[in-house]
Each structure stands twice: as structure tokens, then as C-alpha cells.
């Protein structure tokens, strides 16, 4: 008899052998057993249905031996408490990006509280930023989101539909699709890995390269956004970026070229790494 406990132990053995994190086993077991964490704990010594066990072990092997991300095996990931479809056409949302959402909402309350604003998410991918921000402040924030990839936009639209979010998705490069609009809040988590930087195999082999690499120094798309942002931003506006942990000073320098009078600052993420830079235009601070 294979109990849930024995199945988990077997999975952890496979993962250790292939130098993968054990957390994958718990996630996959919860998924293929259709149990909550509490129910799984209560069922540890119970027999696991054979069909569920076979699917679970096969999924563990796909992750451990074939380097398939757990999120792609399950087909979804939770972001800010919402369930997002993910596949190899979009970047898998990271926990760090949830912190960007939280800080944008704080800035909205500080500078625009209870006012109608237009928000733009540049390079939306799965739509996690745009959709979450629209849901969290649905009364006042009208959201636009751009992406150069039609396949990514298909995923984003499906996510918006599943979550009943009202987001206008536009295909095109960076700011090009919204050149006729006026934006109050611009957010972006653009590709920021330098082209020659080594990347883990599980990422490079499964996530779209167009969503990963940001030119020679990783700042190509920040320059492109910042050099054109003035034409679409209102005089009082906010720009919020996620970026590589070692790029804050360089990004601030670029921002000062195009927004010399703005209040520019960087915040650390929960790993104590410089991860988010904000540009506040036209407000007294």
C-alpha cells in the first residue's frame, strides 16, 4: 500500500537525486491529490489512489529529470492570491513581483486616493501585474497592458477572463500601442537579464527568451520606456519598475536624464535586494 506519506518520501528521494528543491514534491502532491494542506496532513497515513499516485510520480520525474517547471506541470501559479494560467509563452510570475503590486497600491493611495486614474503595464506577459492591480482597485483604476507577443496576450486575456478583470490588452512594442493616451501610473517588469549572463537551465529551456533578456547590460527596455514615457504621462504621474538586484544605481541614473525633477528612489525586496525603483513626477514629497 502506497500512503500519501510514502509517496511524498519517494518523491523527495527523486528530487534529491536530481538536486531539486523538496518543496516541489509538496506542491505537486497537493495538486494531484486535490487536497488542501490540512486535509493532506490528516491523510498522510491513508492509501493514495493509484491513478493519483502514478500522475504524481510522473510529474515529479518530469520536474526532476526533464527540468520542467512545477508551474508548467500544474498549468497555473498563485500570484497575490489569484490563480494565473502559465505556460511556456509567458514568464512565470515571481514572489518579488507581488511586492511591486503592493507598493504601487500604496503609491496610488498616497497620491491619487479615490481618484480615477489610467494605469499602463508595459510587457504584461501573463497579465499578473495588470490584472491584479485592476482587481485590487477596480473602482478607480482603468488598466491598459501591452506586449509584443500575441501568444502572451492570449494567456493574459484568458487570465483576465477567468478572474473577471477589466483590462484592455494591446499588441505592440513597449509604449507604441498607447501613444495616443495619457497615463497616470506606468508599471513594468521588463526583460532585464543581460544577454551574456548565465541562466539556470530550467528557466532558459522553458520560459520565452523575449521575456528574459534585456540587451547587453539588462537595461535596454528601461531606456526605451524612459526615453519615450514623457509623451504619454500626465504631469503628475508615477513610474514603477522591477529590475535586477544590481541595477538600481544605473537605472536611477537613466531616470534622472529623462526626469531630472522627479523624486526617484529604490526599495529592497523581502530578500533584502534592491528590486524596485519608483519615479514620482509632479508631486511635492
- Map out the domains of the chain as residue ranges: 4-66, 88-281
- The string of pLDDT tens digits covering residues 204-230 is 665 565 555 555 677 888 999 999 999
From CA 50, how far away is CA 117, in angstroms rounded? 53
| Start-to-end C-alpha separation, the chain | 65
Give 177's pLDDT tier (boundaries 50, 70, 90): very high
- The string of pLDDT tens digits covering residues 224-272 is 999 999 999 999 999 999 998 889 999 999 999 999 999 999 999 999 9
For residues 231 and 273, the answer to whether their CB atoms sit within 8 Å is no
* pLDDT at 1 (0 to 100): 84
How would you class 160 by CB atoms within 10 Å of its CB: exposed for 0-12, middle for 13-18, buried for 19 or more?
buried
List the grid coordinates of 164: 473577471
Q: At what angle do helices 248-258 and 220-229 cross, to 10 degrees?
A: 20
* pLDDT at 41 (0 to 100): 87
- The string of pLDDT tens digits covering residues 39-56 is 888 988 999 999 999 999
> pTM of whole model > 0.75?
yes
Architecture of domain 88-281: 3-Layer(aba) Sandwich (3.40)
* pLDDT at 216 (0 to 100): 66
80-108: average pLDDT: 94
* pLDDT at 206 (0 to 100): 55
Provide the percentage of residues in the chain whose pLDDT is more than 90.
Answer: 79
State the CB neighbour count (10 A cutoff) for residue 283: 15
Question: Long-range contacts of range 39-47, CB-CB < 8 Å, 24 or more positions apart?
Answer: 40/4, 43/4, 44/3, 44/4, 44/5, 44/8, 45/3, 45/4, 45/5, 46/3, 46/4, 47/1, 47/2, 47/3
Amino acid at each position: 500500500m502506497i500512503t500519501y506519506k510514502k509517496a511524498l518520501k519517494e518523491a523527495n528521494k527523486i528530487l534529491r537525486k536530481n538536486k531539486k528543491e523538496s518543496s516541489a514534491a509538496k506542491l505537486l502532491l497537493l495538486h494531484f491529490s486535490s487536497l488542501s494542506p490540512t486535509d493532506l496532513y490528516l491523510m498522510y497515513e491513508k492509501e493514495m489512489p493509484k491513478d493519483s499516485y502514478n500522475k504524481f510520480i510522473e510529474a515529479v520525474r518530469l520536474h526532476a529529470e526533464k527540468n520542467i517547471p512545477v508551474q508548467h506541470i500544474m498549468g497555473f501559479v498563485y500570484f497575490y492570491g489569484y490563480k494565473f494560467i502559465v505556460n511556456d509563452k509567458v514568464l512565470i510570475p515571481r514572489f518579488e513581483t507581488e511586492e511591486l503590486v503592493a507598493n504601487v497600491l500604496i503609491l496610488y493611495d498616497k497620491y491619487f486616493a479615490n481618484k480615477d486614474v489610467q494605469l499602463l503595464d508595459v510587457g504584461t506577459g501573463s497579465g499578473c501585474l495588470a490584472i491584479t492591480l485592476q482587481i485590487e482597485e477596480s473602482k478607480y483604476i482603468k488598466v491598459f497592458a501591452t506586449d509584443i507577443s500575441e501568444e502572451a496576450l492570449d494567456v493574459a486575456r484568458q487570465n483576465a477572463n477567468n478572474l473577471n478583470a477589466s483590462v484592455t490588452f494591446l499588441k505592440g512594442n513597449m509604449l507604441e500601442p498607447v501613444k495616443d493616451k495619457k497615463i497616470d501610473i506606468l508599471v513594468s517588469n521588463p526583460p532585464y537579464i543581460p544577454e551574456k549572463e548565465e541562466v539556470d537551465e530550467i528557466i532558459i529551456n522553458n520560459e520565452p527568451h523575449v521575456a528574459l533578456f534585456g540587451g547587453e547590460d539588462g537595461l535596454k527596455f528601461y531606456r526605451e520606456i524612459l526615453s519615450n514615457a514623457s509623451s504619454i504621462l500626465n504631469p503628475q504621474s508615477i513610474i514603477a519598475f522591477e529590475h535586477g538586484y544590481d541595477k538600481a544605481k544605473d537605472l536611477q541614473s537613466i531616470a534622472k536624464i529623462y526626469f531630472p525633477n522627479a523624486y526617484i528612489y529604490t526599495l529592497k525586496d523581502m530578500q533584502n535586494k534592491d528590486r524596485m525603483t519608483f519615479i514620482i513626477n509632479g508631486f511635492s514629497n
